[in-house]
Amino acid sequence: MNAPATDTQPAAHAATDTSTLALSALEDRDAFTRRHIGAGTADQDAMLAALGVNSLDQLISETVPASILLQDALSMDEGCTEVEALAALQAVAAKNQVAKSYIGMGYHNTHVPPVILRNVLENPAWYTAYTPYQPEIAQGRLEALLNFQQLVMDLTGMEMANASLLDEATAAAEAMALCKRSNRKKSDVYFVADDVHPQTIDVIKTRAEYFDIDVVVGNPLELDQHDVFGVQLQYPGTYGDISDLKQLISGAHQQQAMVSVAADPLALVLLESPGSMGADVVLGSLQRFGVPMGFGGPHAAFFATSDKLKRSVPGRIIGVSVDTRGNQALRMAMQTREQHIRREKATSNICTAQALLANMASFYAVYHGPEGLRKIAERTHRLTAILATGLLRKGLTCNSSYFDTLTLDLGGEREAIYQRALAAGCNFRPVGDARLGISLDETSTAADVQELFDLLLGSEHGLDLNAIDAELAGGTIATGISASQRRGDAILQHPTFNRYHSETEMLRYMKALENRDYSLVHGMIPLGSCTMKLNATAEMIPITWPAFANVHPFAPESQTAGYREMFTELEALLVEITGYDAISLQPNSGAQGEYAGLLAIRKYQESIGQAQRNICLIPASAHGTNPASAAMMGMKVVIVECDGEGNVSIDDLQTKAERHADDLSCLMITYPSTHGVFEQNIVEICDIVHANGGQVYMDGANMNAQVGLSKPGLMGSDVSHLNLHKTFAIPHGGGGPGMGPIGVKSHLAPFLPGHSVTDVPNLATQNGAVSASPFGSGAILPISYLYIRMLGQQGLRHSTEVAILAANYLALKLGEQYPILYRGRNGRVAHECIVDVRPLKESCGVTEEDIAKRLMDYGFHAPTMSFPVPGTLMIEPTESESLAELDRFIEAMTGIRQEIARVESGEWAIEVSPLRQAPHTQADLRAAWDRPYSIEQGLFPTAATRSNKFWPSANRIDNVYGDRNFFCSCPPVASYEDDGQ
């Protein structure tokens, strides 16, 4: 939303005489840096002048403690142009070989419907939105996520579902934790069927260790030989069999064990649902619903339960509520109960999940509808049945029950066939020494099956596909699904899944939802601690290149040289930026990085005979995921107080570190602090912790204030996660994907996450995994890689400097009207600042929520509300906003302050003021206008809103109603219709 020209905009420059410039200047090699950084030189000069400093260097030296300020430039190349960076990356991508994958194991080829590819995955209006914390301007993605939940509920047969988790393996670990909490049975044993995907078993085992849970992996038919509190099954199993869930679940229930079923969503289109057979939790991955494999991610995992478990479900749940006009509106249900916000009492630390991918999967279901999905599932199954029948007739043996996966017993011929397939560009799954797994999918064709026959039997096999097909279709021979295993109930009956099957209708539906949502395409999203910077188009382009998108995470290493080269380079760049010695790319979110980092700390302490160290010191201001992650690692959280300036109280830290010197594991600290200041004593803080035997975990959420200026690894920290979806330009996707790689000092490096299926370089496979895939979400790593390469040494530092400049400029201007809660040395803030609204609440009842909602009327997304201090707004502009946009925000906050003054003076009662009535919608225009302020004041308070209005699609949404009347599936269609009031 560009403001029309105002007085605050700099005058156009006189034309430069380009004819005298040297070629090096004409090459314009820093063009990307100039476009990434929103404020040009003149804007920066204007802000510096307003702040009373002569240069960025002066501002930085006034702001960043001298003890940590880098003296040397980052040791890396200068930035490059978009053209060069993309060409170089294309050459790297070309080193990947895209073979046809038959590996399965939870990752399948899929056709991304082009209308979804272009209008969602490649569309910044979808991928740059934030988590829908401000529901009035997020109704579009809330509806798409509600559709996701409905899809999951229908497929699984469960009563409720959440709006995605990080991956299937993480979801399974969450299910184990949920069973442990929810089941009163006195057992610490969790049974995992031996046909669960190996990566899932790996992550479950990692998670179990610090919950003191014993994991038994075995044949589920022998479950009665164990006394367990919960069971994890896979449906169909990793080798393809469809087990008799009913019998297994009732066997488990007889011994009061709860049952979680990891299910394949495409198989569920045909198979009886686990819910109808009594499962307590059903989870899985919706990757094959139109989301590329991407070398392991990102994809949306799902998690569904019975209604009685709804308050224990990890992650976010979208629910139905009403707005102040009584119109139906969606919001994140139990918002304030989000698991990690319960801090150390949390049962999960999931914050960022996989919203963008969940939206894609839900649109895939809307696009195909129940009939289309049935055709896809039936076709996949038919081709598998043709393959199985032909092979059987030729004397090969495989599982007799199956949906899309066969595991063949090939004895001594296995290796030769495996190699023959590789040479033909087909990847099979080797199982043990003599078996081979083959999974078919949506993209499989009759020609593929013909090729498989040739590969497995030699070209003289003489099998007639069409004849076998006729027999299967005619029912004269059995397929791998018996009549009793087929589901009898209808799925996806809601009109949403039956309406939009022409491309025109589909396009318009998605566009209609998109239009309800505020994203970075509309204006600044100044969410503190979230770093909503530019997600440059050039950075996004490679993620849909087939050479990145269509690679299976367990493809042979020889085929993934391009990915591995990029990872190695990215790791080296992150090592240079952070000052650590090693990086793990595995964690899929910041919180998962915290978990992986704490795991490394504990493993290291065990390795030096200090397993007793289990105290985690955490400042009172920490983000909720910090204590939640510590709790997941079996640690005891001890809170360290902050002083009046918002800094960690050194006295309190000293006292508590000394008190717990014998069992201190670590301190978790965010730097710069969540209060938005560079604490001067950070080196001393790290020293105190080390002197008392602990390690320092530095939460890297605020790395955007450090890159190129300071390095956590040089300040004394031992480990950090980096939210690549903040500082390193991965878009937030409306609530994910994210990536939370961790950097560690060398002593922790041997304890980084490993993987049981694919080797992670330099790590033992027995190091447990924290994610399903060895390198997390490989498909989005090109974004951060390009970000670093294009900005280069100077551009990275300059970005950080301008982020700090913009925050200080806002603090200066807003500080004239609102108190800025915390400032550091010389009155400077770091890359964000906190506006204190509490005095206004006291003076006239205006709350931070009123201001947040009113900002929507002014064409803005609200800053972060009530974190880290209740009653405040935390504002982070980032380096990507222009001075014009910063000034537009200041103008909005000024206008709001003037409105508050009218409430303070008694001119307006708070209840009928534009602040409390915010946000205003078109429904307000249609109703009789009975407000003490004009329509123009209410809806078009600035010139910018008069020329380019963003319309909130709901009036203020009731925070309480939706939780009291919890409802998380798609409501009847009639209720979507506006009642015209």
Ligand X SMILES: Cc1ncc(COP(=O)(O)O)c(C=O)c1O
Q: Which residues of 671-709 are buried (b: 16+ CB within 10 A; e: fewer)?
A: bbbbbbbbbbebbbbbebbbebbbbbbbbbbbbbbbbbb
Provide the edge-to-edge strand list for the sheet that holds 582-584: 582-584, 742-744, 719-721, 695-699, 664-670, 615-619, 636-640
Per CB under 6 A, the list member of 399, 589, 621, 917 interacting with ligand X is 589
CB of 738 to ligand X, least distance (A): 4
State which residue, 485 or 625, has the beta carbon closest to ligand X: 625
CB of 143 to ligand X, least distance (A): 23
The two structure tokens encoding residue 376 = 């896809």
| Residues 908/914/917/919 CA torsion (nearest 10 deg) | -170
Q: What's the CA gap between 773 and 780, in Å, rounded? A: 13
Q: What's the CA gap between 801 and 799, in Å, rounded? A: 5
Phi-psi region of 792 (alpha: psi -120 to 50; beta: other; left: phi over 0): left
- What are the DSSP calls for 569-600, one per residue? HHHHHHHHHH--SEEE---SSHHHHHHHHHHH
Considering only the stretches 28-36, 309-317, 395-403, 589-597, report the one whose residues sit in contact with ligand X under the rule CB under 6 A: 589-597
CB of 622 to ligand X, least distance (A): 7
Q: Sign of the CA dihedral 337, 341, 344, 350?
A: positive
Angle between helices 561-578 and 781-815 (to 10 degrees): 30
The amino acid sitting at 578 is T
Residues in 102-121 at the binding interface with ligand X, rule: CB under 6 A: none
Considering only the stretches 2-10, 139-147, 266-274, 586-594, report the one whose residues sit in contact with ligand X under the rule CB under 6 A: 586-594
State which residue, 553 or 733, has the beta carbon closest to ligand X: 733
Considering only the stretches 302-310, 585-593, 680-688, 911-919, report the one whose residues sit in contact with ligand X under the rule CB under 6 A: 585-593
CB of 868 to ligand X, least distance (A): 8
State which residue, 485 or 629, has the beta carbon closest to ligand X: 629
Q: Does 614 bind ligand X (CB under 6 A)?
A: no
State which residue, 381 or 725, has the beta carbon closest to ligand X: 725
State which residue, 622 or 918, has the beta carbon closest to ligand X: 622
Per CB under 6 A, the list member of 200, 407, 625, 799 interacting with ligand X is 625
Per CB under 6 A, the list member of 674, 704, 771, 777 interacting with ligand X is 674
CB of 56 to ligand X, least distance (A): 25
Beta-carbon neighbour count of residue 91 at 10 Å? 11
What are the CA-CA distances from residue 103 to residues 409, 775, 780 (Å)? Answer: 16, 18, 22
Q: What's the CA gap between 695 and 830, in Å, rounded? A: 25
Residues in 505-534 at the binding interface with ligand X, rule: CB under 6 A: 529-530
Per CB under 6 A, the list member of 147, 670, 771, 847 interacting with ligand X is 670
Angle between helices 561-578 and 82-93 (to 10 degrees): 130
State which residue, 697 or 785, has the beta carbon closest to ligand X: 697
Assess contact for 589 and 738: CB atoms under 8 A: yes
DSSP class of residue 340 equals G
Cis peptide before 292 (omega within 30 of 0): no
State which residue, 529 or 578, has the beta carbon closest to ligand X: 529
CB of 733 to ligand X, least distance (A): 11
The two structure tokens encoding residue 10 = 């700099």
CB of 632 to ligand X, least distance (A): 12
CB of 419 to ligand X, least distance (A): 42
How big is the CA angle at 244 (ends 238 and 245), to the nearest 5 degrees?
A: 80
φ, ψ dihedrals at 806, nearest 5°? -65, -40
For 225, residues 6+ apart whose C-beta sits below 8 A from its C-beta are: none
Considering only the stretches 493-501, 584-592, 811-819, 965-973, report the one whose residues sit in contact with ligand X under the rule CB under 6 A: 584-592
C-alpha count within 13 angstroms, C-beta hemisphere, residue 534: 21
Assess contact for 725 and 78: CB atoms under 8 A: no
Q: Does 591 bind ligand X (CB under 6 A)?
A: yes
CB of 3 to ligand X, least distance (A): 29
Considering only the stretches 358-366, 487-495, 587-595, 785-793, report the one whose residues sit in contact with ligand X under the rule CB under 6 A: 587-595
CB of 496 to ligand X, least distance (A): 29
State which residue, 390 or 736, has the beta carbon closest to ligand X: 736
State which residue, 153 or 705, has the beta carbon closest to ligand X: 705
CB of 699 to ligand X, least distance (A): 5
State which residue, 670 or 882, has the beta carbon closest to ligand X: 670
Q: Does 699 bind ligand X (CB under 6 A)?
A: yes
State which residue, 738 or 782, has the beta carbon closest to ligand X: 738
State which residue, 235 or 787, has the beta carbon closest to ligand X: 787
Q: Sign of the CA dihedral 714, 716, 717, 718?
A: positive
> What is the number of the residue whose Cβ is closest to ligand X?
590
State which residue, 506 or 779, has the beta carbon closest to ligand X: 779
CB of 784 to ligand X, least distance (A): 14
Q: Does 865 bind ligand X (CB under 6 A)?
A: no
What are the CA-CA distances from residue 380 to residues 81, 105, 370, 375 (Å)? Answer: 44, 16, 15, 8
CB of 590 to ligand X, least distance (A): 2
Site string (281-320) toward ligand X, x via CB under 6 A: ----------------------------------------
Residues in 318-377 at the binding interface with ligand X, rule: CB under 6 A: 351-352
State which residue, 627 or 859, has the beta carbon closest to ligand X: 627
Per CB under 6 A, the list member of 542, 590, 737, 768 interacting with ligand X is 590
Q: What's the CA gap between 653 and 780, in Å, rounded? A: 39
Residues in 385-424 at the binding interface with ligand X, rule: CB under 6 A: none
CB of 806 to ligand X, least distance (A): 19
For 607, residues 6+ apart whose C-beta sits below 8 A from its C-beta are: 750, 751
State which residue, 351 or 846, has the beta carbon closest to ligand X: 351
Residues in 64-83 at the binding interface with ligand X, rule: CB under 6 A: none
The two structure tokens encoding residue 180 = 């442990």
Beta-carbon neighbour count of residue 224 at 10 Å? 10
State which residue, 48 or 145, has the beta carbon closest to ligand X: 145
Q: Does 701 bind ligand X (CB under 6 A)?
A: yes
Cis peptide before 672 (omega within 30 of 0): yes
State which residue, 468 or 874, has the beta carbon closest to ligand X: 874
Residues in 9-28 at the binding interface with ligand X, rule: CB under 6 A: none
CB of 669 to ligand X, least distance (A): 10
By CB under 6 A, how many residues form the interface with ligand X? 16
Q: What's the CA gap between 304 and 324, in Å, rounded? A: 31
State which residue, 723 or 800, has the beta carbon closest to ligand X: 723
Considering only the stretches 161-169, 588-596, 654-662, 683-691, report the one whose residues sit in contact with ligand X under the rule CB under 6 A: 588-596
Give the helix ranges, DSSP H, for 297-445.
355-393, 414-423
- Largest separation between any pair of C-alpha atoms in the chain: 93
CB of 134 to ligand X, least distance (A): 15
Q: Tell me if residue 20 falls in helix, strand or coil.
A: helix
Q: Does 174 bind ligand X (CB under 6 A)?
A: no
Residues in 722-761 at the binding interface with ligand X, rule: CB under 6 A: 723, 738, 740
Beta-carbon neighbour count of residue 268 at 10 Å? 25
Q: Does 873 bind ligand X (CB under 6 A)?
A: no
- What are the DSSP calls for 662-685, one per residue? TTEEEEEEESS-TTS---TTHHHH
- Catalog residues that contact ligand X under the rule CB under 6 A: 351-352, 529-530, 589-591, 623, 625, 670, 674, 699, 701, 723, 738, 740
